[in-house]
Amino acid sequence: MAEAVIVARQFDDAEQQRRASDLGMWVFLATEILFFGGLFVAYTATRLHDPQAFATASRLTNVTLGSINTGVLLTSSLTMALAVRATKLGLRRASIGFLCATAALGIAFLGIKFTEYVRDWHERLVPVLNFAHVGPHAGGVETFFYLYFFTTGLHAIHLIIGIATVAVVATMAARRRFSPDYFTPVELTGLYWHLVDVVWIFLYPLLYLVART
Amino acid sequence: MWSFPLHPPADSSLATRVDHLFYAWLALAGIVTFAIFFLIVYFSAKYRHDSRANRAMPSGATLRRESHRIEIAWIVTPLVLFLGMGFWAAGLYYAHAAPPADATEVYVVGKQWMWKIEHQSGQREIDELHVPAGRPIKLVMTSQDVIHSFFMPGFRIKQDVLPGRYTVLWFTADHAGEYHLFCTQYCGTDHARMIGRVVVLAPAAFERWLASGNASPSMAEEGKARFRQYGCSGCHGASASVHAPKLEGLFGRRVQLSDGTSVIADERYIHDSVMLPRKDVVAGYEPIMPSFQGQIAEEDLLEIIAYVKSLRDAKPGDIR
Amino acid sequence: MISHPVPPARTYVLVWVALLALLLVTLGSAYVPLGRINAAINLAIAATKALLVVFFFMHLRSAHSMLRIAATAGFFWLAILVGLSLTDFAVRY
Amino acid sequence: MSSVPLPLPRSYLEEGFSLWSWLATIDHKRIAILYAISITLFFFAGGIAATLIRMELITPAGDLVSADTYNKLFTMHGVIMVWFFLIPSIPSTFGNFLVPLMIGARDLAFPRLNLASWYLYIAGGLFTVGALVAGGVDTGWTFYTPYSTMFSNTHVIAAVCGVFVVGFSSILTGMNFIVTIHKMRAPGMTWFRLPLFIWSMYATSIIFVLATPVLAMTLFLVAIERFAGVGVFDPALGGDPLLFQHLFWFYSHPAVYVMILPAMGVASEIITCYARKNIFAYRSMAFAVLAIAIVGFLVWGHHMFVSGQSIYAGMVFSILTFLVAIPSAIKVFNWTATLYKGSIRFDAPMLYLLGFVGLFTIGGMTGLFLASLALDVHLHDTYFVIAHFHYIMVGGSVMAFLGAVHYWWPKITGRLYPDRWARFAAITVFVGFNLTFFPQFLLGYLGMPRRYHEYPPEFQVLNVLSSAGASVLAAGYLLPLFYLLWSLRYGPRAGPNPWRATGLEWQTASPPPVTNFATIPVVTAPPYQYSPLEDARRG
């Protein structure tokens, strides 16, 4: 038997508590959108300012790894959605399995991303530390790579938090903490995970596909 | 005794028109504010809790209808009035946005914490701007370091002065006189000392003033010297062996770039070509020009730009 | 207790297939020289993918209207930020 | 299942007396007190900076402090007053205390998050105080690039970190309020039965949640640009300083409404209570706060009319700015109309709030001067702007804050303060405020730029007037500190409802019990059940 739902003292019942948590999460996600939004505006302005540099720089990113990584992350969203579904249906083993798959895909994403960073390092594309690109738009290329490392880095930090949360939730699932009546932590983790995915969905064309022709 | 002026001395037709706008706002805002203050005081006195005023209100439906009418009235009336004033102000701003074609150009460089000004004739001044009365003056301004702002309260105008960009401010002074010049964008320690004078002279007196300075070469001539000093002529001169774009007749022309786009060769283009030469490469040329970022002062660059401008009607080979 | 409707697993898989297909389309289109249209296509596809994730994986399609408003607000305010700053950037550069 | 203990008659103040019982509390009322103490400390820290600024400006020469010290003083004044006093002032204290009480809830939706937001506030405060102790910051509260990223030699990164952290405190508070107002209302408490203070908290929270993250990102970018020398704001690095200004004002203009919307909420509560009359046009008052919060996001470019942004952007932002003036005007008209046929008493809170309406009107009207393009070209960055926003933020927000302190003091502490002293303080603040800031409008039109350590001698008379007024204002601010603290011990006990007000918060004990209500109230009527006729009959 799953444990009884614990209702905090400020709430009337479990339903009110669940709805409050859902809304809280969505409001938090709106905040996240605006947080990354500031970065997108910086990107847009800088790109309009020096479009040629962004085209040049984007060609220097590794589109193969970037595209594979996008596929990995999209797949992790699928497993996350399935994990939430399994939890709601009370399928504990399936739920744990999908959560672990999600975390594994997240780690795979980070691994590929790390490989990319290493390549960028060898190609001397890391601003400040070893940037040595020469060419007609070197300054703008450096700015692009600054934004590239900043946005992907910030995204990676979000993903690491996501992986840690998924691990915690998976442990909770293993300890039979969830039931068809109580699955809020899984659901909220899922929402967060998908939003991190959505951020990447926009980053991918803006960083890798600026001018491939 | 001192006198209390409400506005600084006005010395341009724009200044007078801005003052009119100000007084119109003062009147409108004054009426609205006074009406509200009056009502607050009047109601407060009349409906004190111990007064015997009539407090009976109309019945529900009447009250609702009445208050809807009142509400619509005080939404629509201020909206129309405020927007009207807004369009007036925007119109005045827009009309004054573009300088007239025949304006005399004066170059301004802001740096922590002084204004360096150079006239086309080569006359230089610091923290002072001498201009003739009755002639439109166009200030082409840039900054060597942080953002400054060129504020002349006597003419009711200011404009931020940005690094890496040229901004423009223009005015026509009506009468001879002296006016304040302030930096209004906070720029560091001596921000408050980045002030000076605008001296408006009668045209004849202005000519005398221009002539009185130790006979300096014109800005374009100075620019020519800088052009040599910084080694520009080595590549862009007539006898150069390096394949570099010719600058004769360049200014104001449309230039095709290597990436297929084109730009008008204005001050900003020349500035960027010197500071960020790899940004806009002319079609048919190799990106071999070194950057002069950090090696050339903004005021020297302005002289070089003046020189390139003076070559507007020159023929290839005129640069020696 | 209110029952929580659970979509079939097939829906999720179909959405996932659509996402991967869109990924391939956006990648492929990037190699077709279309000038400025390329960027527009990329962004349109990214927006479509994001909508798929938000609607199906995040269940916004069947969510309480308040949650939809919260989600819309985030994107709407981002549009304000981008749109009004473009009144400057798009004209000035 | 749920096990809510029966509420004890003990008040929230008697729940525990140890320091730990305060520092680890998750009771919204205690967290409100923690905030109240912290923002008061910051208010006086910012006030000391203001005092030194006004003393320096008595003479045209820069003779009291050095130019660098002066620059650090106005930066400290701005940073502290904006982020550590004004923005959290009413929401974090009265919002925290009153939101659950006014809607009939036991607490906010996320009490732990609420405590976390106070700790974030303190952490941000420590960073900032650290930057000040270590030598100060001289960028101005606006942190304009490239001065802040390249040229300033002061502790910009620490200050920026402080503001970054305190931003997350705002975000958490905003999330908490939004969820609480949506999900925790008592039975029968429909949206149009909410007190207008709750509406204003809701509108404020929208701004917290949607604007603050942009500021956080912007300051993050500034810190990196300063630290690593690569970035998007400095033209020398290929960036654009106007990008910073756009991002900064996208937050900072709505942040101005964060400061004024809660004050508007307070005004609606207090004016109705002391006029014994229901608010005029409740619905348009509610929609007006939402309109201000939303349209307030569309006008940030009016801070940049002379910055070098495109003239088209300038015109778009100017016209949009006039639109946001309308809901503010509606509110002022409606408060005035509320007085009509009321039964008005002039207790201290009412005096503060009538002062608020007057000063806010002047501040708002002068804001329209600044929204007018051609006029702003002259007025931008002069003392006219300083006077304008102090009328809004000090004349408006701080007056309303003090009014709220007096109005809810008996509810929070269970004690009454000496009203005669309070009225005297209210009048002193009003007079002192006008003496301080009205001359600055004149200075501004005459052309005196802001952030000037020295100035031409012709501006001295008005500056001396302003500084003299500041001393009156300072006295007005210090007075309540004494009689309010006095009342904690010697003030007579207040009943549950000393003002005969009609909000839910007045239906429980003063101070309220830990769970706020013995039983959750059921709401059957709109707010503001006042009857001036009946009141006048009582005499």
Q: Using one digit for the tens of pLDDT, what is the confidence trace for B106-128?
A: 999 999 999 999 998 888 899 99
The rounded mean pLDDT for chain D is 93
CA distance D510 to D498: 9
Is residue B8 over pLDDT 90? no
Chain D interface test: which of C69, C72, C75, C84 (most D C-beta within 10 Å): C84
> Do residue D373 and residue B89 have CB atoms under 8 angstroms apart?
yes
**Widest CA span of chain D, in angstroms?**
75
**DSSP states of D61-119 as a string?**
S--SS-HHHHHHHHHHHHHIIIIIIIHHHHIIIIIHHHHHHHHT-SS-S-HHHHHHHHH
**DSSP states of A19-36 as a string?**
HHHHHHHHHHHHHHHHHH
Question: Parallel, antiparallel, or unpaired for β B157-161 and B124-126?
Answer: unpaired
Nearest to C78 among A33, A194, A197 (CB): A33
Chain B residue with minimum CA distance to A134? B278
The residue written with tokens 């993250």 in the block is D213
Q: Which of D72, D77, D167, D174 is nearest to D124 (CA)?
A: D167
How far is CA D525 from each of CA B148, B299, D30, D191, D496, rounded to the nearest angstrom? 58, 72, 29, 12, 20
> Do residue B47 and residue D339 have CB atoms under 8 angstroms apart?
yes
What is the nearest CA distance from D302 to chain C, expressed in angstroms?
12
Range of lowest pLDDT (C46-50, D159-163, D535-539)? D535-539
Is B24 within 8 Å of chain D by CB? no
Residue type, B56: A
Chain A residue with minimum CA distance to B285? A136
| Per-residue pLDDT at D7 | 47
**Pairs across B and D, CB distance < 8 A:** 259
Chain D residue with minimum CA distance to C81? D250
Chain D interface test: which of A5, A6, A9 (most D C-beta within 10 Å): A9
Chain A interface test: which of D214, D237, D240, D514 (most A C-beta within 10 Å): D214
Using one digit for the tens of pLDDT, what is the confidence trace for A9-57? 889 888 899 999 999 999 999 999 999 999 999 999 999 988 888 998 9
How far is C-alpha D468 from the chain's CA centre? 25
Chains near D, with 3+ CB pairs < 8 A?
A: A, B, C
Sign for the pseudo-dihedral over CA of D535, D498, D526, D90 = positive
Chains near C, with 3+ CB pairs < 8 A?
A: A, D
What is the nearest CA distance from A127 to chain C, expressed in angstroms?
25
| Per-residue pLDDT at B170 | 94
Would you list which residues of chain D are within 8 Å, Cβ to Cβ, of chain A? 1-2, 4, 100, 105-111, 171, 174-176, 178-180, 182-184, 209-214, 216-218, 221, 224, 228-232, 237-240, 243, 246-247, 515
Please state the ipTM of this predicted complex.
0.90
Q: Which fold has domain D29-156+165-184+196-229+249-538?
A: Cytochrome C Oxidase; Chain A (1.20.210)
Is residue D6 over pLDDT 70? no
What is the nearest CA distance from D246 to chain A, expressed in angstroms?
9
| Per-residue pLDDT at D9 | 65
| Per-residue pLDDT at B27 | 96
Instruction: Break chain D into its structural domains and give their ranges.
Output: 29-156+165-184+196-229+249-538
Is residue A4 over pLDDT 70? no
User: Which residues on chain D are in Cβ contact (under 8 Å) with C87?
Assistant: 301, 310, 312-313, 316-317
Give the residue ranges of DSSP H helices in chain C. 9-29, 36-52, 65-92
Is residue D20 over pLDDT 50? yes
Residue type, B220: A
Chains near B, with 3+ CB pairs < 8 A?
A: A, D
CA distance B180 to B191: 15
Q: Do C27 and A67 touch, CB atoms closer than 8 A?
A: yes
Is residue D4 over pLDDT 60? no
* DSSP run (H or E) holding B141: strand B136-143
Count the residues in chain B: 320
D180 or B273, which is more confident: D180
Region D296-321: mean pLDDT is 93
What is the nearest CA distance from D210 to chain A, expressed in angstroms?
6
Using one digit for the tens of pLDDT, what is the confidence trace for B164-197? 889 999 999 998 999 999 999 999 999 999 999 9
**Pairs across C and D, CB distance < 8 A:** 40
Using one digit for the tens of pLDDT, what is the confidence trace for A145-159? 999 999 999 999 999
User: Which residues on chain A are in Cβ contact (under 8 Å) with C19?
Assistant: 74, 77
Quote the tokens at residue B235.
């590549």
Arch. (CATH architecture) of B104-212? Sandwich (2.60)
| Per-residue pLDDT at B1 | 36
Burial class for A132, CB neighbours closer than 10 Å (0-12, 13-18, 19+)? exposed
Is B23 within 8 Å of chain D by CB? no
What is the nearest CA distance from B279 to chain A, expressed in angstroms?
6
Using one digit for the tens of pLDDT, what is the confidence trace for D345-361? 999 999 999 999 999 99
CA distance B288 to A136: 9
Using one digit for the tens of pLDDT, what is the confidence trace for B280-303? 788 888 878 887 877 888 888 888
> Do residue D146 and residue B146 have CB atoms under 8 angstroms apart?
yes
Q: Which of A47, A145, D44 is nearest to C85 (CA)?
A: A47
Q: Is position A172 within any domain?
A: yes
| Per-residue pLDDT at B320 | 60
Q: Mark D291-315 as b/e (b = at least 16 C-beta within 10 Å).
A: bbbbbbbbbbbbbbbbbbbbbebbb
**DSSP states of D257-325 as a string?**
HHHHHHHHHHHHHHHHHHHTSPPTTHHHHHHHHHHHHHHGGG-GGGG-TTTT--HHHHHHHHHHHHHHH
> D156-183 and D196-228 are packed helices; what angle lies between their axes, rounded to 10 degrees?
150
The CATH number of the domain holding residue A122 is 1.20.120.80
Total of domains in chain A: 1
What is the nearest CA distance from D180 to chain A, expressed in angstroms?
8
Burial class for A113, CB neighbours closer than 10 Å (0-12, 13-18, 19+)? buried
CA distance B70 to B74: 6
| Per-residue pLDDT at D539 | 59
Q: Which of D13, D173, D183 is nearest to D104 (CA)?
A: D183
Region D141-158: mean pLDDT is 93
Superfamily in which the B219-310 domain is placed by CATH = Cytochrome c-like domain (1.10.760.10)
Residue A184's φ and ψ, nearest 5 degrees, are -50, -50
Chain D interface test: which of A7, A10, A13 (most D C-beta within 10 Å): A10
What is the nearest CA distance from D43 to chain A, expressed in angstroms?
28
Please tell me the pTM assigned to this model.
0.93
| Per-residue pLDDT at D1 | 38
Q: What percent of chain A has pLDDT over 90?
A: 76
CA distance B194 to A187: 59
Using one digit for the tens of pLDDT, what is the confidence trace for D381-403? 999 999 999 999 999 999 999 99
How far is C-alpha D436 from the chain's CA centre? 19
Q: What is the pLDDT along chain C (93 residues), one digit of tens a residue?
A: 445 678 899 999 999 999 999 999 999 999 988 888 889 999 999 999 999 999 999 998 888 888 999 999 999 999 999 999 988 888 876
Is C44 within 8 Å of chain A by CB? no
Q: B20: which residues sit within 8 A by CB, 6+ positions away?
A: none
The rounded mean pLDDT for chain B is 87
Is C57 within 8 Å of chain A by CB? yes
How far is C-alpha A212 from the chain's CA centre? 24
User: Domain containing A140: what range?
Assistant: 14-208
Using one digit for the tens of pLDDT, what is the confidence trace for D422-453? 999 999 999 999 999 999 999 999 999 999 99
| Per-residue pLDDT at D530 | 92
Is residue D249 over pLDDT 90? yes
Quote the tokens at residue A4.
């009884």
C16 or B2, which is more confident: C16
